[in-house]
Structure 1
Amino acid sequence: MTMFYSCEINGKLFEPGSSYQTLTTKMENSSYLSDKLEKWNSELARGLTPNNVILSLYILTGLLGNSTVILIYRFKMRGNKEERYFIPFLATADLCGSLVCASFGIALNMMQAEFNNMHLCKAWWFFAAFTTFTSGFFLVIIAVQRYLKVCRPLAKQMTLKWKRFALSLSLLVAFIHAVPMVHFYGSVPFPNEEEGIVGLRCSRLKTTNETGSLIFGGALVLITVACIVTLICLYSKIGYTILAHFKFSKIDCKPDTSSEVEKTSKIDHSQVKIPSSNGPLSDTDDGTYSVETYNTELSESLPPQKFIKPTGKTLTTNTKRERKVNPYKSNAKRRKERLNLRVVHKFTLMFMLITIIFLICYIPKVIIMLLEARNSKFWEEFSDSARAGVLFVYRMYIINNITNPIIYAFLDEQFAKEIRSLFKHCK
């Protein structure tokens, strides 16, 4: 007696009596489509091999560079904590950003048409957005701090409490902006009309509310543009102030041949009370000076001069409001003030360069985000080679996370010194 059993293949139930030939045909078609999809995905991944090599270099460079920055600035360097306070936090955000974003890019390249794990896709988009927003918000905080220190030295500065509050607020705001990524991104259909197959890629969901998706995309672009404009405005004012100070310093360095200077030069030096300069000057361990005197030195562009008459009484006379170097200020004190200003300006220029690289790397990403928000089939319309080029430009923002250690090495002499010392110990 012949017995028939029902069976389930690929989610479809075949009852007793079904044609064996029909069942075999369906199994062959399913296997055929799966093979075609796998072959198509392999071709897409092969075309993105150069992109994967670059992303792997991003991971390696970001890991080594930012780890070294955290190690040296946090545990090795002791001097000038005021100027270097934000550097370890920015390096931590850059480290996480380079690892998460670059590894996410490699995963997307390898699974262009076979990204079937919806939850992994959503989690990766969340962490990529969180690390990216954190790094950008940290740069805004640093720009505000440099603006207060350089442009408004007499105003209230950022205390340690406010610095910690600003960092915590940045993390919170970055988290709030990254959470919606879980709702608007996931595995979406990726059709190949020529081959008659449909894959899955990790991208913006098309099944969600289109209006809400556009509002969210517009909000992200608006926030990014606001950060960029804020950075440009703040550092433009900072750069103008620094250039004006350098111009003023050159004027001060010129010899004064006015009659007043000639008169004062005729005064008996034994009757002039010159401030003592025997005390120690260095406030730090790295050969630079503390920047705490930066506020007072700008408010006292020309301190009063003191003359002693033969009777022993001291006469104080205010100088003109013209900004001239006080000839009776000790050379040591003037040297200390110049070093203070040089430290402030050097670190400001360093952060300014970091911000310029940030803007160069993020502006192309913002443009592509705008185009992607307007066109739901943005990525599908490119050829395979064109898509590889656009993906490279889109992920250029990761360069921002890996170049900062190089900038520190060139512009922070103490950091470069510690790097050389570390290499000597490793040999």
Structure 2
Amino acid sequence: MTNITEIEFLALNNRKAILYVPVSIYIGMTMIIGIIGNSLVCYIYGRMVKHTPTNCFILSLGIYDLICCGVTLPLEIVEMRYPYYYIETCKFQRLQITGTAIASGFILLAIAVDRYIRVCKPHKSKIESQLAVKISILSGTLALAMSIPVVLIYGQHTYTLPKLNITVSECSSTAENSRSVFPQIYYGFLFILFVVILIPLSILYGLIWRTLHMRKKTFSFSMTYLSASRNSFHNIAVNEVPLMLKQSKGKSKSNPTVNHIKGDPLQIRKSTIEKKNRYQFYKLKRTTFKLFLTTAFFTISFLPYHALMIYRTVVSDFVNLEPAAELTYNLFLRSYQLYTLNPTVYAICDNKFWTQLSVLFPFCHCRGKEEKEDSEEVEN
């Protein structure tokens, strides 16, 4: 081995760290946006809004991702700063980021099931808030159990730099595992798990959008999304309209509101109900779109990573790369870290979030145009 001083070795490390500056910037921006966004999500959805199943799931995503942004991503930046040194937190980093990613996937699947029931099976029993809490805890527990193999795979990997004949270390598969098929089997398991989650997500959202399209086209859902006690227009006509007419006879002189009633009261009531149905449909569709957008963002963030892992396993191990190729490789290898912004993506699209944010920070003028709780879900 070539003998060099510690100063020379540090200079060599610094040259590699300069190459990784774009990767560090990417991680740093994800970390800052994630910490700010997830902190606001956790506070607003945990303390300031109604505790609905969807809000519970978004809060769980926010908690998991806040831990990742606040703990793991800063350590990732340290790794990029010292690429030729082994960081002792290696195993913990890989365990934590793998576990939170799997847990996020499970929760997004639970959200899709909840959306499917509410849109396609509105008369079925829905996921309640208490069950949503249990699902979130179970998702975290299962994800942690499925992430345990990471501790066995990752560790201090020592190798020799080509041409320089210098030994360096990094956080990667250990020498023992590099000669084993176990890492490839586990990476294959993670990819299969990703596909197993992705397929039901695609099917469920496909059915949801088809149902919404059909109901928008025919508007046959009109009475479906009224509360059970108000579902029947017949009951309204029998019970409320005669009462309205009776009251109008006795109070028409003193009540200016009654004097301004024109036309058939039954028709007026029917028109009011239809407007309410359209508004409820609008809210239902918009909430579904926000959750779909969050799920799509999660999926897209993992595609480059899985494509890279498949290519590395089947074709090449990515050794002796040119600087540009090495930089691209490290960026793609960390593409999945964008999943930590999932709750923030949902919150940005939610008027309810901006309304509550304006309560916290009145000077920001971030209140949405619609002051009402138009982002609340039907029957939540």
Q: Which TM-score band (shorter chain)?
A: 0.7 to 0.9
> Which amino acid is the alignment partner of residue 371 of structure 1?
Y
Q: Deviations over 1:198-248 (max 9, x none)?
A: 211111224136132222221111111211222111111111111222222
CA distance in 2, matches of 1:294, 1:213: 53
CA distance in 1, matches of 2:67, 2:124: 35
1:111 matched to which residue of 2? 82
2:60 matched to which residue of 1? 89
Q: CA deviation at 1:385?
A: 2.3
1:232 matched to which residue of 2? 202
Q: Deviations over 1:60-94 (max 9, x none)?
A: 1111111111111221224x735433221121122
2:27 matched to which residue of 1? 55
2:375 matched to which residue of 1? none
Contact in 1 for aligned 2:53/2:132 (Cα 8 Å): no
| Residue identity (%) | 20
Contact in 2 for aligned 1:59/1:98 (Cα 8 Å): yes
2:69 matched to which residue of 1? 98
Contact in 1 for aligned 2:119/2:208 (Cα 8 Å): yes
The count of aligned residue pairs is 338
Q: CA deviation at 1:297?
A: 10
- RMSD of aligned alpha carbons: 3.2
CA distance in 2, matches of 1:83, 1:124: 29
Q: Deviations over 1:16-66 (max 9, x none)?
A: xxxxxxxxxx9xx64x16555433221110111122122212111111111
CA distance in 1, matches of 2:281, 2:37: 28
Select the residue among 355, 358, 369 that pairs with 1:417: 355
1:333 matched to which residue of 2? 273
> Which amino acid is the alignment partner of residue 49 of structure 1?
V
CA distance in 1, matches of 2:236, 2:360: 49
**Does residue 395 in structure 1 map to residue 365 in structure 2?**
no
| Mean Cα deviation higher: 187-196 or 335-344 | 335-344
CA distance in 2, matches of 1:344, 1:403: 20
Contact in 2 for aligned 1:154/1:299 (Cα 8 Å): no
> Which amino acid is the alignment partner of residue 70 of structure 1?
C
2:48 matched to which residue of 1? 76
CA distance in 2, matches of 1:423, 1:206: 53
Larger Rg: 1
CA distance in 1, matches of 2:234, 2:193: 46
2:37 matched to which residue of 1? 65
CA distance in 2, matches of 1:59, 1:107: 13
Q: Normalising by structure 1, what TM-score?
A: 0.70
CA distance in 1, matches of 2:350, 2:52: 13
The correspondence of residues 159-170 of structure 1 with structure 2, limited to 5 A, is 159-170=128-139
User: CA separation of 1:39/1:232 partners in 2, compared to 1, >3 Å: closer, same or farther?
Assistant: same
1:261 matched to which residue of 2? none
CA distance in 1, matches of 2:75, 2:138: 26
Q: CA deviation at 1:99?
A: 3.0
As a proportion of its length, which structure holds more helix? 2
The correspondence of residues 332-351 of structure 1 with structure 2, limited to 5 A, is 332-351=272-291
Residue ranges of structure 1 left out of the alignment (5+ in a row):
1-25, 254-290, 309-325
CA distance in 2, matches of 1:297, 1:222: 46
**Does residue 191 in structure 1 map to residue 191 in structure 2?**
no
Q: CA deviation at 1:190?
A: 3.3
| Mean Cα deviation higher: 44-53 or 154-163 | 154-163
